[in-house]
Chain A
Amino acid sequence: MTIPLTVNSTTHQIDLPGDVPLLWVLRDEIGLTGTKFGCGVSACGACTVHIDGEAVRACQVALRDVWGEVTTIEAMGTPGAMSILQQAWVDHQVAQCGYCQSGQIMQAAALLAETPRPGDADIDAAMEGNLCRCGTYPRIRAAIHAAAAKMSEV
């Protein structure tokens, strides 16, 4: 008995128990390693992906409970064709170790989809679940503002 799962527009038949968290299906089964494991208990945001456009912690959603299409960092843009948000990340030289950044970008993308011109308080509220042990928060904030400005131009 396999479970269908649609990730980045491709549907996979997953042969794993239904209680395996989406995070580990993505990383170990489908080989999409851009989504990271940080805590496993919803305390760090490193595993953030979108389900039907909503930012969720992939470590907390069981395979059998995935309610829609999953989008991961790999579908946000590629090194040769980055999204506006990713380009803003590069322009602001946000990443240090980089380990938290997939989750930060997915969380920020969901914020911008809902609030196209977020204020600092919006950014605080949306991003506070995403830990960065390297402390890149000021650059993340600047990159989100810059991406928002850029997106409103187009």
Chain B
Amino acid sequence: MSRLGTIARRSFLIGSAAIAGGVAFGVWKLNQPLANPLQPGPGEAALNPFIFIDGSGVTIITPKAEMGQGVQTTLAALAAEELDLDWEQVRVLHGPPAAAYYNSVMLGNVLPFKDYAMSDFQHRLAEEVGRFGKVVGLQITGGSTSMTDGFVRLREAGATARETLKLAASAQLNVAPASLRTESGQVIAPDGTAIRYEDLAEAAAQIDPPKVTLRDPSHWRYIGQSMPRLDQVAKATGTATFGIDVRMEGQRFATLRMNPNLGGGMVSYDATRAEAMPGVEKIIDLGNGIAVVARNTWLAFRAAEAVEITWQSAPYPPEQAQMWEAIEASFADAPNSTMRDDGDTTNGIAGATEVTAEYRVPFLAHATMEPMNAAALYTGEALQIACGNQVPTLVQSHCAEAVGLEPEQVSVETTFLGGGFGRRGEYDYAVYAARVAKEMPGTPIQVTWTREEDMGHDFYRPAAIGRFRGAVQDGRAVMLDGQIAGPSVTASAMPRLTGMQAAGPDRVLVEGAYDQPYAIPNYRIRGHITDLGLPIGFWRSVGASVNGFLHECFLDEMAHVAGRDPLDFRLEMMRSEHAPSAGCLEKVAEMSGWTGQTPEGIGRGVGFTYSFGTPVAQVVEVAQTDSGIRIARAWIACDVGLALDPEIVKAQMVSGLVYGLSAAVMGEITFAGGAVEQQNFWDYDALRMHTMPQVEVAVLEANGHMGGAGEPGTPPSMPALANALYDLTGTRARELPLNRSFDFVV
């Protein structure tokens, strides 16, 4: 800890520097200033680049990628709050890859604490470890960390800029800085003279920024309000540029056909027929597949299909049944982690009633609406990459390595993302584009995957099996002992993200189960890792997407055996453990008018998961109709501690719920002959307009720490639905997807 403490010692330095025709402002942390990626002149590198002002106005640089979660809007609001911009004056850009934009929070979230029970000391420690993100240059949008990460940094950047601009105006007008105020992008003197920030920018660049204090929350105008999102007009007019829309002069269009046996290479291929097809310009051997470059994407698709390829086999058991056997077998291994071990779970409890159950959840694909793609231009000395991504620094370094350039020779432009959900936290799509571009020097290439390639070459949410034992007595849970087995996201992703092997107990494998706020005296959660050798990745809510289902279905079973109402059963165990979590359950009970009774033909279920710093309780209602079971309504109560933008939080909660319900009803990736069986939306579908429930959301702010919003809505939706189906039908489905056990309206 001491070395880390030294590296991570907080030392805010505040800087500004000249840029062409203006000034860049910001703050940076830690002892070594980070190079400014916006490239001011020599000797001016020591500044962070959150805001720059030039002749055309103020631009706020957001270090986080906009993938639908509204992050640019909220981060911009934080800066604009202090900088006194009118909302119409706010412009945003995605930041380039740069260590200065490191994620200061995400690494702190790997600590094995239960967030709801963290002491202030533990929170400080997590902050320190998070700051270590600077040292490894982790620039990542993920883990629902954007708001906690940006909350202080963007406001400080705005305040620093404001105060420096006031100093510049004070010199120009020869009045005391304290007599100046700021409004609508101008500094205003006591006599009413107003100077636009643009006109002060160059002078401000010569001034050492003063120390600033942030405004008291009682003065906030934007923070806590629902702001009009900055991306809405572009997205309603087809003018928002996604990675797939990048167009450069002379561009060619390409696609990939990679080995469906993931990780396997190519024995041989014959492209004779494909080469003769219309519009085809080049076929490239990528080792584990081929790329076709053509004058049109569809012509490339068609030619890629016509290439005859003999594949190597997969480095993992090729059949789904063998994978399940491997997961089952890992229960026999010593647990990789025991993150919670309270009381005694090994000896029986006299007079208590035992409950046991086994659950299964499948592999899942991300299926972002925009299929994977990236654009690249290689010139020999430089590589230009443009794509949606959650990890610009990793895209930069891995593309550089793939084409034999230094990272400094690679530029990365982050476009809008047509969905991320964790998939764009990988960089494979960019590296493939870089490799294709290298074979066509001087020609810009847009590499677009077919939906089928995207579905079959994902980094999947792992399948898992949960074995749970519990005991109830006098209407209460007195023991819960859960074991979870499956492939590890951490073990698969760590080498890709950090170049290092995962070490130590795997927290992600058991998150959403070990860290739940229930007072159960004898309570143990253990995780067992199955090493399948399959590419596994971060899927919206990660471990909690598995464990929320296991844990909350089991609690429902315990409540039933205990003869209790499932909501009251939970509430009673939660009140003493974590009041804000109990508050969510109470709120959702009130919103849904929960009575524990449902009329014939209606079923209701409750689910609760504390994940990414946010407790979320949900009630789902299902109805039996002539054409099958319909998910009719859902209620969500979440506590994000501080809602920076309540409408955006609500939208994320609904989105998280739909993503979870879609997976619970019909999401399933299976393997046969080494390859993924599902191909497209016809066999990997999601809820649609006519199957979408009506949803109500309440956003509470009682929790002591700010939590995430993008992911925590997903985990409780799946058990809430399964529990509702039990209420409706009396059948307890212990396996996802639920359409294996029930007939839904389709």
Q: Which A residues lie at the B interface, using CB under 8 A?
A: 16-17, 20-21, 23-25, 27-29, 31, 33-41, 43-44, 46, 72-74, 76-79, 82, 86-87, 89-90, 93-102, 105, 123-125, 127-141
Contact = CB atoms under 8 A, between A and B. Distances in A.
A131 B688 contact: yes
A79 B680 CA distance: 33
B236, B253, B417, B654, most chain A CB atoms within 10 A: B236
B121 interface: no
B236 A89 contact: yes
B69 A28 contact: no
Given A97-B417, A99-B369, A137-B689, A82 B654 contact: no
Given A27-B297, A96-B69, A135-B655, A74 B419 contact: no
Nearest to B366: A133
Contacts of B245: 27, 33
Interface of B: 67-70, 228-229, 231-242, 244-245, 247, 253, 278-279, 295-299, 301, 367-371, 416-421, 448, 450-451, 647, 651, 654-655, 657-659, 662, 680-682, 685-690, 692, 694-695
SS class, residues of chain A in contact with chain B: loop
A95 B67 CA distance: 10
A99 B242 contact: yes
B456 to A, nearest CB: 14
A141 B689 contact: yes
Nearest to A97: B68
Contacts, number: 194
Given A16-B279, A24-B298, 13 more contacts: A16-B296, A28-B296, A36-B242, A41-B680, A74-B239, A78-B239, A87-B236, A95-B232, A97-B67, A98-B416, A130-B689, A135-B687, A137-B688
A133 B369 contact: yes
A36 B418 contact: yes
Given A34-B239, A128-B689, A141-B689, A99 B419 contact: yes
Contact of B369 (A74, A127, A131, A137): A131
A134 B419 contact: yes
Contacts of B657: 135
B235 A101 contact: yes
A99 B236 CA distance: 10
B370 A123 contact: no
A82 B237 CA distance: 7
A36 B655 contact: no
A41 B231 contact: no
A135 B692 contact: yes
B417 A37 contact: no
A93 B233 contact: no
Nearest to B684: A43
B236 A94 contact: yes
Contact of A82 (B236, B367, B421): B236
A96 B371 contact: no
Nearest to B657: A135
Contacts of A139: 651
Nearest to A140: B689
Given A96-B655, A97-B370, A133-B368, A41 B682 contact: yes
A100 B370 CA distance: 8
